[in-house]
Structure formats: structure tokens, C-alpha cells
């Protein structure tokens, strides 16, 4: 165990250092060659460290009396501090294995420094905690600008949003109603000893996350893994058989699959990245579904649109992903305040390009996995105010447009806009 922990700390430090320099963790993790057990530990170390980055970064800065270490050694210390605080390992085990990880990383001269800093943290933990309590970025483990935006938007709820962003995400599954009922699949889970409870229209929330291969019926296409908040999209589209439907930002295909499970529609699944679009077909095929998959930019319809109107459009637009930060903890530290306007500009462009494709009387569902109003209400309100024949409708599930992240689901925003005849 000790040897593997040193290797895991070393690999986690390499990945976290790349994220600190601007890389995406989601792009780097698939490149790591590791066993399933080691991958599980690696995911825990990287995600846990990045969720607590504001804290561990502040601790290392405060305790580095001889100047700041290089990026890789700093990342090793961040990961080791997370491991210490996770409770999964003994304190001295973590310190010893972090020192050994210096060799894994070929940072042999840093061994004494890593050893001294971690032991000092253990000796002075109480005093350090008092200092951290006075610094928002360390206390709430989110960038200061992120905290400020949420505090302004949600004067009462902002602490709980930040708390959720530091938590482990729930695992929701969606039975494929074309193959199995919700009640029958819940019974199958119970027979397999997997505890789950129903949430909303169709979601089952597992008591404990599991690898998908351990879920009964996954390979047979009986279920998909999808957050309960994401499952709102298909229900809010107000689907009916025979409609032409566009999923304008479809990869990897979760919402597209749900649309096809609920109604016999003619679906076009669009994504602008070929590698991501390539995942849509196999995901649908596993579920016994099919759609016309197109590669193209939603803002440049001349390259892929055949000129036939759609009765329904799902515009699941690119966003900061602030509502799913606990699933993608690197986004908290990769995003900048200026990204809010950049994403809003892209979102406005997508709405403007999709609107002419919507049939008279048709409905467009604007969706984000963001909790920032600048990407949500602000964009939708401006579009409706400036667009002839655009009318915002209540959502079919009767729920608020903005769901904030909690123990049951992530943070999603939905707005339904109709093109009046």
C-alpha cells in the first residue's frame, strides 16, 4: 500500500500541476495508464485536491518560508495535504510516502523540504486553521471572484452553493423506459444489494456511487448514468411523436438519448467537435436508439442544416460549468471572471443562429449547467426582449428555472421559449 501511495501521489501531482498551468483534468486523466484500483485512488487524489485547492494552496504558501517550490513539488504538497485531511491514511504514512514521491517525480533535492513542510503542518494545524478561517478563498475553497458573484446573486443561498461545490457529487441513473420501468429497475437494484431512492420524474439516486459495469443492465442498455438535474431537459421540451427535434450541443448524447426514450421523434444530434460527436452514436446504439448525428457549429447552420424547420430545439449551450464544479473541480481554478461575458457572447450567438430554424409555434429550451445569472436569466431576458415573436413559457415540470446544486442533483438552468405564429 505504501509503495502504491507514493506512486499515486506522484501521478496525481503531475496531473494537478498540469491543471495549475491551464490544462483540463478531463483531457489529461484518460491518458494515464493505470489499473482500475489505482485509477480510483488517482481520481480521488486529483479531484479531492482540486476541490480544496484554495485551502491547500494557501497552506503551502503560508508554510514555505524559503520561497515557493516549483510547480510539481507544490502540486505534490497540495495532494499530500488533501491525503492527510481525507482521513484515508495515517498522518506519518502520508508524510513518508510524499517524501518517496519526490523520487517518483525525480525531485530528490525536495525530499527534506516536503518532509519539513508536512510535519510543520501537523504540528501547527490548530494555528493554521485559525488563519485560514479569515481568508475566503481558503475557507470556501473557491476563487474570490466566484464567491463575490454568487454572494451578489444569491444573498441567502451562496454559502450552501459553495459547500455543494466542494462535496462529492451524487450518482443518478435513468432507466430506459423503452426497455424497463422505473419500479422494475429499482427492484433490480435492490436485488443486487444496491441502495437507491427515487427523485423527480425518472431519476434513481444511488446511496453510493459505483462503476457503471457493476450496474445491472447497463451493458444491455436498460439504464444511463445521468444527473437528476440534467434529466429535466427532455421533460421540459414538451415532446410529442413525429416532431423534428434538434439537440444543438449534443455530445456525448445523454439528453439526446432521453429525448428518444420519451418520444418517437426525428432527432438531429449536433456537436462541433468531431471527437465528441463520435461518442453519440455508440451511446445511442447501446440503448437501442438512433439519430442523425451531424458535426457542425450551431452558429454556422449553412454547413449542416437542410433548411427544414424544427418543432423543438434543445440549446444546451457552452457555459462555465459552475453548476457541476464538484464533478469538474478544475473549472473553479481554470475560469476567470472575464469568462462570464465570453460565454454569454457565445450563448447569445447560438440563440440568434438557432432561432430561424425553429418552426412557428415551436419551442426552444435554453439550458446550461451554470449557476451564474450572467449566463442564464440575463441572456434569456435580453433575447426575449429583443426578438420578435419570442415568448418565454413556464416549464412543464412546474419547477424554478434555476436548480442550485444540492445532495440530490447538480446546478442546472432551463428556460423554454416559444416562437409565436
Beta carbons within 8 Å of 103's beta carbon, 6+ residues apart: 6, 111
Active site residue 249: no
10-39 per-residue burial string, b: 16 or more CB within 10 A, e: under 16: bbbbbbbbbbbeeeebeebeeeeeeeeeee
Give the three-class secondary structure for 295.
strand
Rounded to the nearest 5°, which phi and psi values hold at 315?
A: -105, 80
Per annotation, catalytic residue among 79, 236, 319, 369: 369
Burial class (CB in 10 A: 0-12, 13-18, 19+), 231: buried
DSSP code for 200: T
46-82 per-residue burial string, b: 16 or more CB within 10 A, e: under 16: bbbbbbbbbbbbbbbeebeeeeebeebbbbbbbbbbb
Among the listed residues 291, 237, 231, the one whose alpha carbon sits nearest the alpha carbon of residue 260: 291
Find the DSSP H helices in 64-211: 71-86, 91-104, 111-123, 125-132, 136-140, 144-153, 158-165, 182-191
Among the listed residues 69, 84, 367, 370, the one whose alpha carbon sits nearest the alpha carbon of residue 237: 367
What are the Cα distances from residue 322, in Å, to 18, 158, 365?
21, 13, 19
Burial class (CB in 10 A: 0-12, 13-18, 19+), 129: exposed
| Strands 171-175 and 203-206, sheet pairing | antiparallel
The CA angle 291-327-270, to the nearest 5 degrees, is 20
Rounded to the nearest 5°, which phi and psi values hold at 137?
A: -65, -35
Give the three-class secondary structure for 111.
helix
Q: Are 400 and 386 in contact (CB under 8 A)?
A: no
Give the three-class secondary structure for 53.
helix
Cβ count within 10 A of residue 2: 11
Beta carbons within 8 Å of 408's beta carbon, 6+ residues apart: 170, 199, 205, 228
For the chain, give the longest Cα–Cα distance.
73
Just list the catalytic residues.
Answer: 369
Amino acid at each position: 500500500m505504501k509503495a502504491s501511495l507514493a506512486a499515486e501521489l506522484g501521478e496525481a501531482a503531475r496531473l494537478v500541476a498540469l491543471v495549475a498551468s491551464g490544462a483540463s483534468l478531463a483531457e489529461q486523466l484518460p491518458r494515464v495508464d493505470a489499473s482500475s484500483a489505482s485509477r480510483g485512488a488517482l481520481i480521488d487524489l486529483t479531484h479531492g485536491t482540486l476541490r480544496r485547492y484554495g485551502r491547500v494552496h494557501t497552506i503551502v504558501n503560508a508554510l514555505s518560508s524559503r520561497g515557493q517550490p516549483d510547480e510539481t513539488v507544490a502540486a505534490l504538497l497540495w495532494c499530500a495535504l488533501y491525503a492527510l485531511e481525507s482521513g484515508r491514511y495515517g498522518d506519518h504514512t502520508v508524510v513518508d510516502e510524499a517524501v518517496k514521491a519526490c523520487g517518483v517525480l525525480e525531485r530528490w533535492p525536495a525530499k527534506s523540504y516536503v518532509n519539513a513542510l508536512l510535519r510543520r503542518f501537523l504540528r501547527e494545524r490548530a494555528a493554521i486553521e485559525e488563519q485560514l478561517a479569515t481568508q475566503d478563498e481558503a475557507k470556501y475553497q473557491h476563487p474570490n471572484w466566484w464567491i463575490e458573484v454568487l454572494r451578489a446573486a444569491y444573498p441567502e443561498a451562496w454559502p450552501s452553493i459553495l459547500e455543494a461545490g466542494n462535496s462529492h457529487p451524487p450518482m443518478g441513473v435513468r432507466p430506459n423506459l423503452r426497455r424497463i420501468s422505473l419500479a422494475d429497475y429499482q427492484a433490480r437494484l435492490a436485488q443486487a444489494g444496491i441502495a437507491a431512492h427515487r427523485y423527480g420524474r425518472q431519476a434513481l439516486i444511488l446511496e453510493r456511487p459505483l462503476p457503471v459495469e457493476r450496474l445491472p443492465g447497463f451493458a444491455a442498455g436498460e439504464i444511463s448514468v445521468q444527473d437528476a438535474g440534467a434529466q429535466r431537459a427532455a421533460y421540459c421540451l414538451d415532446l410529442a411523436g413525429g416532431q423534428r427535434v434538434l439537440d444543438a450541443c449534443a455530445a456525448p448524447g445523454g439528453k439526446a438519448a432521453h429525448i428518444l426514450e420519451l418520444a418517437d421523434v426525428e432527432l438531429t444530434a449536433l456537436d462541433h467537435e468531431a471527437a465528441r460527436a463520435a461518442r453519440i452514436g455508440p451511446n445511442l446504439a447501446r440503448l437501442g436508439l438512433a439519430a442523425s448525428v451531424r458535426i457542425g457549429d450551431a452558429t454556422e447552420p449553412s454547413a449542416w442544416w437542410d433548411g427544414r424547420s424544427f418543432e423543438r430545439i434543445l440549446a444546451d449551450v457552452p457555459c462555465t460549468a459552475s453548476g457541476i464544479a464538484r464533478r469538474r473541480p478544475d473549472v473553479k481554478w481554470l475560469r476567470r471572471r472575464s469568462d462570464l461575458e465570453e460565454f454569454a457572447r457565445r450563448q447569445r450567438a447560438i440563440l440568434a443562429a438557432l432561432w430561424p430554424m425553429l418552426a412557428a409555434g415551436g419551442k426552444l429550451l435554453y439550458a446550461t449547467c451554470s449557476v451564474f445569472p450572467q449566463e442564464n436569466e440575463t441572456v434569456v431576458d435580453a433575447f426575449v426582449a429583443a426578438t420578435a415573436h419570442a415568448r418565454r413559457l413556464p416549464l412543464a415540470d412546474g419547477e424554478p428555472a434555476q436548480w442550485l446544486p444540492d445532495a440530490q442533483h447538480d446546478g442546472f438552468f432551463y428556460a423554454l421559449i416559444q416562437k409565436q405564429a
